[in-house]
Chains A and B, each alone.
Chain A
Amino acid sequence: MLDFKLHTPIGVKDLLPEEALVKKNVLRRIEGVFESFGYREVESPMFEYIEVFSDEKMGSISPKEMFRFFDKDGNLIALRSDMTPPIARIAATAFQNYENPLRFCYYGNAFRDSKSYQGKKSEFAQAGIELMGAYGAAADAEVIAVAVKSVLSSGIKEFKLNIGEVNFFNAILEETGLSKEVQEDLKDVIGHRNYVGMEKIIEENNIDQVTKKLFMELPKLVGGKDIIDYTRTLTKSKAALNALDEMESLYDILSVYDVSDYVSFDLSMVNQLNYYTGIIFRGYTYGTGYSIVDGGRYDNLVKQFGKNIPSVGFGIKIDEIAKVAAEENPELSKRNISAIIAYTNKGMASALKTALKYRENGINIENSLVGDDIEKNIEYMKQMAYESLLFFIDENNITYVRNTEEYGIVRANITTEDIVVAEKEAE
C-alpha cells in the first residue's frame, strides 16, 4: 500500500542541502542587483482572496490552475498564483498617496495546479521587481537592465532576452483590415506559435500584399537594431512605425546600460491575455526548455485596485536559473565551512572554546558530536566533504587531520598553541 507520509505530492519537491545552497546563493546575488538599483522588498501573503488573482486583466492564470479553498467564513481563497497582482494591490492601497515612482522587489513562491505527469512543477520560486508610476523608454530600459544584470550575476553567460512590443503587433493586426473576429483568430494562432495556422488565415483572407508579406516574415523578425530598420520597410502603419521608434530609443538606452549584447527584438511576440500594454520580454538560456525571465509593461493592472499608475516589471524563475547556473558556476555550490572539531572527554572544554573563538573570528566550524573515536570522525569528515578535522585528545594535544586530494587522509599532532597561530593567520 502507498504510504503517503513518505512521499511529496505530484508537482512539489524537497530541496536538499546542495540544491538549497545553490538556490540561496543565486538569490543573494540577484537581491544584490535589485538593491543596487534601489528596489525595496515587499512580502505579500501566501494566499489571498481569489479576486486578487482571478478578476479580468489580473494576470495570466486561469482559476482552474489555482489551488483554491474556503476560509471559515466561506470566502474563496487562492494560493498565490502570480506575484504581481498582490504587489499592485499593495501599491494601490498602502502607497496611495505617495509620490511616484515606486520601486518594489519580491522573493517568494507561487503555486499553480499543473497537470499530472507532465513533469511540471506546482510550486516555484520567483524573484522580481516592479517599477510603478514611470512611463517611457527610460523606465523600460532600467527594468530590462536589472533583468539582464540579475541573470548574469548568477554566473549564466549564454543568455538572451527577447523584447516584443504589444503596440507594434496590435498596429499591424489593425492594418490587416480584417474583421475583429478574424483578428482575434490571427492573434490566437500567433500567440500559440502556430505559424502554419497563421499562414492559412493570411492566405485565405483578403489582405494587401505589403501586410501579407509582413506577417509571413514575422517569425523571422528577430535581431538587433538592424531588424528594426528592416521592419520599417515592411509596414506603412503609423502606429507600428511609432512603436518601432520607441524600440529604437529603448535600444539606445540599453547600450548605455551595457546590456544590449544580450538583447534581441522579437516582433512576433504577442500579448495573449491583454495583460501587457507595451513592451513584453522573455529571457532564455541553454539547459532549460522554458523561459527563465518573463516581464513587460502592464499599465492597466494597478488601476484594477484603484490607483491609476503605469507599471513595468519582471519575474525570474529561480528554480530554473539555479539548475542551469549550478552547472556553469561552481562557486554557487561552495559551502562557507571547511572544518569540524571532535574531542575526547578530556579535550571537550578546550575544543568548544577553540570552536567559539573561530566563530567569533568569522570562521564557520562544526562540532561533529560523533564521539571520541577518531576513525569514526574521519569517516564523518569524508561524508561531509570537510577539508580538516581538529581532534582534541586532551586540553592541549590535538590530532590535526586533513583530507587532501593528492595524499588522501594526512594526520599531524599539534598543540593548542599551534591553533592560535592558525587563528591569527585567518584574521
Chain B
Amino acid sequence: MRYLTFALAKGRLADQTMDLLERIGMPCEEMKEKTRKLIFVNEELGLKIFLAKTSDVPTYVEHGAADIGVVGKDTILEEGRNVYEMLDLELGKCRMCVAGPAESKEKLENSHSLTVATKYPKIARDYFYNKKHQTVEIIKLNGSVELAPIVGLSDVIVDIVESGATLKENGLQVLEEVCPLSARVIVNRVSMKMEHQRITEVIDKIRNLIKEDTK
C-alpha cells in the first residue's frame, strides 16, 4: 500500500485535526510529543503526517508532496493553488474583515485614495477590485497589522477577526465583512484520482464526525 501523506498547518488547528484523525482510527499520539522530528510515519496504516507552516500547506498539496492538507480558508484564498477543496471542518471559525478607526468609515465608502494594509494582498485586492469595484492602494505587511492605521501607514486593514478583542484594545472596529473563514480539507488533484477510494473514505468518516458533533 502506498503512503497517504497529510500536511497539517502548525498550531492549534493541527492539534484539533489530530484529535479528529484519532477518532477515525488514525493514531497520532507520537505527533503530540514534543520532538524535533518533522514527519511521522505509521507503517501499519500506511500513513505519513507532517506539520508545515500554514501558508506552505497548499504548496505541498498542489505539488503532490502531500495528498491531503488541512488549512484555513484564508490561506487557500490567498495562495490560490490548484487543489480540491473537499470539506469544511468547521474548526477555527472566524471572519476576514475590513477594520479601522471609526473615522475611516466614510473614507472607505467614498475615497479614491484609500490605503489598505494587510497580510492578505490577494484577498484584499479581490474584495476591493472585484466585489466593491473600488481602486485602492494595498500595502503588504507580515504581522501586527493593527498597527498600520494607528501610526498612519494605512486607512484600514484587511485581517482575520476572531473575537475582535485585539481590534478594540487598539481603538479599531470591524467596518465590513469580507468572508467567513474556517479550516478546510484540501486534496491533491492526482491523489484524488489515483487514491480516490481511500481518500473519499477518510473524508466521509471525518464528515460524519463533524455532523455528529454539530448535532
Contact = CB atoms under 8 A, between A and B. Distances in A.
A359 interface: no
B62 interface: yes
Interface string A85-119: 00000000000000000000000000000000011
A289 interface: yes
**Chain A CB within 10 A, most for which of B2, B85, B88:** B85
Interface residues of A, number: 25
B65 interface: yes
Interface residues of B, number: 22
Interface string A213-242: 000000110100000000000000000000
A289 B189 contact: yes
A194 interface: yes
Contact of B194 (A194, A220, A285, A290): A285
Contacts of A286: 2, 190, 194
A219 B85 contact: no
Nearest to A220: B200
A197 B194 contact: no
A289 B200 contact: no
A119 B189 contact: no
B196 interface: yes
A193 B194 contact: no
A197 B85 CA distance: 8
A291 interface: yes
Contacts of A291: 189-190
B128 interface: no
B193 A160 contact: yes
B86 interface: yes
Interface string A283-299: 01110111100000000
Nearest to B191: A289
Contacts of A266: 193
B190 A290 contact: yes
A410 interface: no
B85 A289 contact: no
Contacts of A119: 59, 63
A284 B193 CA distance: 7
**B contact patch SS:** mixed
A195 interface: yes
A195 B194 contact: no
A196 interface: yes
A162 interface: yes
Interface string A182-198: 00000000001111110
B184 interface: yes
- Kindly name the residue among A158, A282, A286 whose own CB sees the greatest number of chain B CB atoms within 10 A: A286
A363 B193 CA distance: 45
B64 interface: yes
A95 to B, nearest CB: 36
B84 interface: yes
B87 A284 contact: no
Nearest to B66: A289
Nearest to B2: A286
A219 B86 contact: yes
B174 interface: no
A107 to B, nearest CB: 24
Dominant secondary structure of chain A at its interface with chain B: mixed
Interface string B87-99: 1100000000000
Interface string A405-427: 00000000000000000000000
A290 B64 contact: yes
B88 A196 contact: yes
B184 A160 contact: no
Contacts of A196: 85-88, 184
Contacts of B200: 219-220
Nearest to A195: B86
A32 to B, nearest CB: 26
Interface in A115-159: 118-119, 158
Contacts of B173: none
B84 A193 contact: yes
B83 interface: yes
B128 to A, nearest CB: 20
A289 B62 contact: yes
Contacts of A290: 64, 189-190
B189 A194 contact: no
B188 interface: yes
B64 A193 contact: no
Contact of A284 (B82, B85, B86, B190): B190
A161 to B, nearest CB: 9
B6 to A, nearest CB: 15
B84 A195 contact: yes
Interface in B178-198: 184, 188-190, 192-194, 196
B189 A193 contact: yes
Contacts of B88: 196, 199
A119 B61 CA distance: 13
B64 A222 contact: no
A193 B189 CA distance: 9
B196 A222 contact: yes
A219 B84 CA distance: 10
A69 B213 CA distance: 57
B130 to A, nearest CB: 13
Given A193-B85, A288-B64, A290-B64, A222 B193 contact: yes
Nearest to B79: A118
A55 B145 CA distance: 42
A124 to B, nearest CB: 15
A302 to B, nearest CB: 28
B85 A195 contact: yes
Contacts of A220: 200
9 contacts: A162-B193, A193-B82, A193-B84, A196-B85, A196-B86, A196-B87, A219-B86, A284-B189, A289-B188
Interface of B: 2, 59, 62-65, 82-88, 184, 188-190, 192-194, 196, 200
